[in-house]
Structure 1
């Protein structure tokens, strides 16, 4: 029988020591485990000054206080923005109720011009026209504008239908007549326009 050949010892790299042997060797401590234990105990890593628990607590409290300050600052900015918006709306629409009460007067002035009797004094008629124009200019300067109607599609947000006309000349829902003008104050409807709306003719049986 041949002699049993001894296996050559496995070559080990000098850069990779036997970790298992070192872990089992008395007096050898894993540096990573030691750092974790030190951190739990509030100790500084080797080569650094110890961490003062009171200083760390003060730092944590300062960070929490700064975070609260940031949240409060953001809330205050939102509050100021809402306040400015509300103040702007109150200023912009401060005369809303007064203007609404003046609209019937404007309606009557226009009716007087539209139904002036024949033979009326021309000077009187021109005077009423001038007063009406001045009144309209004053209301317009306050942000009042008319709402377009005839030829437009009916919009319930700014039109009010009080009659309908059966016709094949207009698409269904088209406004064919303005019964009373409507007005808008800036972006808000002050009074809807009263209108007559087209409706398709009923089919004869």
Structure 2
């Protein structure tokens, strides 16, 4: 199929979640250039200089992103923009994000939901050319995770350190480290980055 011109920009702080998201996009659309902007606070400046087929902006951390989104909408600088939101964002912030008019997607959405949403923005139904939308199937890990291991995995993807995971789950740091080792062994991943990419790609941490 003919691919529309333009790169995809992911504006999100460095994190394991961003690595997983970019990996999903690159695996799904290998011929599309995926660019990364480490600081969402620079988004407005960049979009005055360059156009993208789609921008995916993470609004879960950057406090300066909301006014930028409002300016982008006012000046029509970015017609195709997807905003990632978090579970625990204040209601007022979520309301303001909705008021920008840009589509919102939970940061904890499954890979299938991410791909469907991105495909819908890149290729509206009446478009003559579009990105192919693959059918993704949830693949279970080689060895099933326990409920506690899944809880630890979700917090690892949320960029929590061992102490933060221990505090949230009321565990000792040593127990958290044990769960992380078990996750690596069960998946065959060699690093935490590899574990996160694999977990997001296969949908193991879908909300």
TM-score bucket of the superposed structures, by smaller chain: under 0.3
Higher strand share: 1
Q: State TM-score, norm by structure 1.
A: 0.19
TM-score norm. by structure 2 comes to 0.19
